[in-house]
Amino acid sequence: MSATTGSVPPTGSVLIRAVRPYGEGDPIDVLVVDGVITEIGSAVTASEGTEVIDGKGGVLLPGFVDLHTHLREPGREDTETIRSGSAAAALGGYTAVFAMANTSPVADNSTVTDNVWRSGREVGLVDVYPVGAVTVGLAGKQLAEMGMMAAGAAGVRMFSDDGKCVDDPLLMRRALEYATGLGVLIAQHAEEPRLTIGAVANEGPTASRLGLAGWPRAAEESIVIRDALLARDAGARIHICHASTEGTVELLRWAKDQGIAITAEVTPHHLLLDDSRLETYDPVNKVNPPLREVRDKEALRQALAEGIVDCVATDHAPHAAQEKCCEFAQAKPGMLGLQTALPIIVETLVKPGLLDWRGVARVMSERPAQIVELTDQGRPIEVGEPANLAVVDPDTSWVVHGPDLASLSANTPFETMTMPATVTATVLRGVVTARDGQVTR
Ligand code: DOR
Ligand code: ZN
C-alpha cells in the first residue's frame, strides 16, 4: 500500500487563532508549520508570511473522513467531478473521502482506481481514496482483481460493490478470504436483492398508504447477519455501509459482543429524516436504503453515541435534475451529503446531548480513519501531529440552498432547512483548502 498522502505539499505556516480543540477549555492558538502542528498555546506568535485564520472561539476538530462518497468521475461528470466533489468535501470539513466504485467504467481495475487517485491529487482539496469494486462490473459474478488495485499507485484499501449487494454468499466468502490475505476491507451494501425487487420506500404504513412498493428491513438485516457470520468464519473484517434499521443495530450489537470484526456507518440523512418525508412524493427523498421510521432513526442515534455504529458516512450521491425530478418510482436513489453532514450531526447528536465534540471527532474522523487504517487522518490535535483540521463555528446557522452548494448537482433533501453550525475553515496537511465558504484552489 504505497499511498498514504495526497498532493498538497506541506509548505509554509498557518496560525489558527482563538479555537477550542474538541470544544474544550478557553480559546487558544494552534500553529502549523510544514504540515505539522508545532505549537498549541495562548498568544502564539508566528513568523511573517504566516497565514492567519481567526477561529473566533469556535471548535477545532480533526478533519473529517468520509468512507462513502460518490464522485461520479469517470462517466457522469455532468453530475459531479473529482474537483467539484472535492470542493464540497473541503467545504464540509473533510480532509479525506473514499470514492465509491460505481462509476462508468466501474472502478474494478487499477487503471480506473489509479486515475481517480491521481485526479484527486491534482485537485488537491482533499485526499481522494478510490474504493475498488469487489466484483467485475459490479455484476456479482466474478471477483475483481483486488490485489492489482491494492498494489497500484492508489493503494486501494477498501472494496465495495456499493449501489449493489454482493449477494452470492459463496462469492462473498471468497471476497472476505481474499481481502483478509491482502489486508484490505470489504464494505457491504446490505440489500438482499430478491426482497427488494421494485422497492422504492421503507416497507411500512407510510409506503402502504402512499402506494409505494416496500423495501423490507429483513432485506438489510439478513445480509448484515449473514456477512457477520461469514466474517467470523473467515477471520475477516467486514464493514456495513449505511446501516438503516433498528434491527441492524441489534445485530451489530450481537456480532460485536461475539468478537466479530464488524464495523458500520450511518448517514446523516438516516439520522435526521424518516419516511414521513415521502408524503409529498418528492423523489429528492428517495435513497437506498430508504428513509425508515422514527424508531429506526432513534435507534441509530443511540447506536452511534454508544459506538455500536462506529461512524458517520455521507453516501453523498449527486444526481442530475432529470434523474430526480420525475416520477418517484423512476427517480434515481441518492442525495447530497458532504456539506451538510457536520451540522446534521450537531442537530441530531450534539444538541440532544448524545455526543460532545470529542464524540463528534470520534464518529466523523477518528473511527473512520481507523477502519481504513489511515495513519495521517483522525489524529489527535497535538504537537507533532499532521495538520488535518476543521474549524467549526458551532453557533452560526445557515440555510441550505442546493444550487449554492459546490456540487454540480442540487439534490439535497435539506433544501430550506436551517443548519445549526458552520464549517469555517479546513486545513489539509497545513494547507488551507476552504475558508469562509470558499475553496482556496
Ligand atoms: O441512494 C443511493 N445512491 N444508494 C446507493 O447505494 C447508491 C447511491 C448512488 O450511487 O446513487
Ligand atoms: Zn449503498
Mutational test site, ligand 1, from 76, 106, 332, max ligand atoms within 8 Å of CB = 332
Q: What is the pLDDT of residue 218?
A: 98
Is 70 among the annotated ligand-binding positions? Answer: yes
Question: Whose CA is closest to atom 7 on ligand 1?
Answer: 163
Instruction: Write out the residue range of the structural domain in which residue 168 sits.
Output: 63-378
- 389 lies in a domain? no
- 48 lies in a domain? no
- Mean pLDDT in residue range 419-427: 98
Is residue 5 over pLDDT 60?
no
Is 71 among the annotated ligand-binding positions? Answer: yes
pLDDT digits (tens, 9 = 90+) for 276-298: 999 999 999 999 999 999 999 99
- 25 lies in a domain? no
- Mean pLDDT in residue range 66-78: 98
CATH of the domain at 286: 3.20.20.140
- 409 lies in a domain? no
H-only helix segments in 17-81: none
Helix (H, G, I), strand (E, B) or coil at 367: helix
Q: What is the pLDDT of residue 4?
A: 43
Ligand 1 pocket residues where CB is under 6 Å = 70, 102, 162-163, 189, 287-288, 315, 317, 332-334
Instruction: Give me the sign of the Cα torsion angle 375, 263, 72, 437.
Output: negative
- 259 lies in a domain? yes
Q: What is the pLDDT of residue 1?
A: 35
Residues 326, 329: Cα–Cα separation, whole Å: 8
Q: How far is the CA of 334 from the centre of ligand 1 (A)?
A: 5
- 180 lies in a domain? yes
Q: What is the pLDDT of residue 8?
A: 60
Least confident of 6-20, 144-158, 401-415: 6-20
- Quickly tell me which residue has 481481502 as its cell: 179
**Residue 188's beta-bridge partner residues?**
240
C-beta separation of 220 from 291 below 8 A? no
Q: Which ligand is nearest to the CA of 332?
A: 1
pLDDT digits (tens, 9 = 90+) for 222-250: 999 999 999 999 999 999 999 999 999 99
- 189 lies in a domain? yes
- Quickly tell me which residue has 449487494 as its cell: 165
Ligand 1 atom nearest to CA at 286? 1
- 317 lies in a domain? yes
Tell how far CA 246 is from the center of its chain: 20
Q: How far is the CA of 334 from the centre of ligand 2 (A)?
A: 9
The number of distinct structural domains making up the chain is: 1
Is 72 among the annotated ligand-binding positions? Answer: yes
C-alpha cell at 5: 498522502
